[in-house]
């Protein structure tokens, strides 16, 4: 272990309480999910699901059963679900796979899409596609009039996330899709639903989307597994080649334990769905209200109320650097992130926060927290006590540096 990392970890000794609020980047897997996965590591169900023997048949049945559970949770059919190693891979498959036979045309996305969408679009732009980014307002809502202007007969694909992973904005997906299908009936509509799944009602049949990305760890499932919903009849090609197993679009041997864990986490998220969401929403509002009223010079990023995902808290602290604040809070046992997982190690402001009009210092002073159904009021009490102290200490340091 690197000496500097070892020292940082040692500094955490004797922490009074630990509150993990970084499910944007990873999550603790509940014991029930771990127990569901274990037989597929070391018992008779560890076989390759394409092989005709008992361990293979058991693995195959587990994958099919899991696909059915995931599909039912979004109003889809099992054969419309493709498991991938995660959200990034699912977004890559959605964009590149749906355009694999196209020689050119137009792709339309919002300004605040995750990097696994925007970076793929940049690559496709280099291959001859035109990419248009639709602006958002100060709360992150897509400008539907601008969307209408951008979508035309040359549009091949539109991708708009159902919920912003950074600021929690719940986008008007149904209205956006109606505009797209009216302006370009043949265009494919994809949504990254990773931050909607398990937190807001999301039914692909009711919405009418062609493709949707899902993530396991964002609902307290294991890392390394995600899924892409592809509506029957939508033509998508593979972006990787190799052994074809139980699914056509993603070659290789399926990771049965993680697929089973994803399905188990999904069941837990949707059992008592309304109660889970209500609990998260209440804790979210406690954090937002407590921080904004208890710490001066703070800004909430994204909307309030029902237009915001129930788990998302993103706040900018003026005169305070976000990365330093994550370290300071970590030393108190409160684990958050500064910006998104994709950008936190790059000295650039979040493209999402700049898109909604935040200044450079506001974007750099932001922290992202996500509550879960597992958090308690005692957790929130501890966080609301820790944050003002951490901010006060950092502002005092920055102030003394400025005086020097």
320 is catalytic: no
User: Active site residue: 313, 342, 391, 394, which one?
Assistant: 342
Three-state SS letters, the chain: CCHHHHHHHHCCCCCCCCEECCCCCCCCCCHHHHHHHCHHHHCCCCCCCCCCCHHHHHHHHHHHHHHHHHHHHCCCCHHHEEEECCHHHHHHHHHHHHCCCCCCEEEEEECCCCHHHHHHHHHHHHCCEEEEEECECCCCCECHHHHHHHCCCCEEEEECCCECCCCCEECCHHHHHHHHHHHCCCCEEEEECCCCCCCCCCCHHHHCCCEEEEECHHHCCCCCCEEEEECCCCCCCCCCCCCCCCCCCCCCCCCHHHHHHHHHHHHHHHCCHHHHHHHHHHHHHHHHHHHHHHCCCEEECCCCHHHECCCEEEEEECCCCHHHHHHHHHCCCEECECCCCCCCCCCCCCHHHHHCCCCHHHHHCEEEEECCCCCCHHHHHHHHHHHHHHHHHHHHHHHHHHHC
User: Catalytic amino acids?
Assistant: 342
């Amino acid at each position: 272990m690197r000496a500097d990392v070892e020292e940082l970890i040692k500094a955490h000794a004797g922490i009074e309480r630990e509150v993990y609020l970084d499910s944007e980047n990873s999550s603790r897997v509940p014991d029930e999910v771990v127990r569901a996965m274990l037989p597929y590591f070391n018992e008779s169900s560890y076989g390759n699901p394409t092989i005709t023997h008992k361990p293979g048949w058991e693995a195959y049945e587990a994958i099919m059963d899991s696909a059915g559970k995931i599909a039912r949770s979004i109003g889809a059919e099992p054969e419309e679900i493709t498991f991938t190693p995660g959200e990034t891979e699912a977004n890559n498959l959605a964009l590149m796979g749906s355009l694999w036979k196209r020689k050119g045309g137009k792709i339309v996305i919002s300004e605040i899409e995750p990097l696994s969408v925007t970076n793929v679009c940049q690559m496709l732009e280099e291959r001859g596609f035109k990419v248009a980014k639709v602006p958002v307002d100060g709360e992150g809502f897509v400008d539907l009039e601008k969307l209408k202007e951008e979508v035309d007969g040359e549009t091949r694909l539109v991708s708009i996330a159902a919920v912003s992973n950074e600021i929690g904005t719940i986008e008007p997906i149904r209205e956006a899709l109606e505009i797209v299908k009216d302006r370009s009936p043949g265009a494919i509509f994809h949504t990254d639903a990773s931050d909607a799944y398990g937190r807001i009602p999301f039914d692909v049949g009711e919405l009418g989307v062609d493709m949707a990305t899902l993530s396991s760890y964002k609902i307290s499932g294991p890392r390394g597994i995600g899924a892409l919903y592809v509506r029957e009849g939508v033509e998508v090609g593979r972006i990787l080649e190799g052994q074809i197993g139980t699914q056509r679009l993603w070659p290789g041997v399926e990771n049965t334990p993680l697929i089973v864990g994803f399905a188990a986490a999904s069941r837990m998220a949707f059992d008592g769905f309304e109660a889970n969401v209500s609990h998260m929403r209440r804790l979210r509002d406690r954090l937002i209200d407590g921080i904004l009223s208890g710490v001066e010079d703070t800004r909430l990023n994204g909307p309030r109320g029902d237009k915001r995902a129930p788990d998302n808290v993103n706040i900018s602290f003026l005169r305070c650097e976000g990365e330093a604040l994550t370290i300071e809070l970590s030393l108190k046992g409160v684990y958050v992130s500064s910006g998104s997982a994709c950008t936190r190690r790059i000295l650039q402001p979040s493209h999402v926060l700049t898109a909604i009009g935040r200044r450079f210092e506001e974007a750099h002073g932001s922290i992202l927290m996500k509550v879960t159904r597992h958090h308690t009021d005692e957790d929130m009490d501890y966080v609301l006590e820790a944050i003002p102290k951490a901010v006060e200490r950092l502002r005092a340091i920055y102030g003394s540096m400025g005086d020097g």
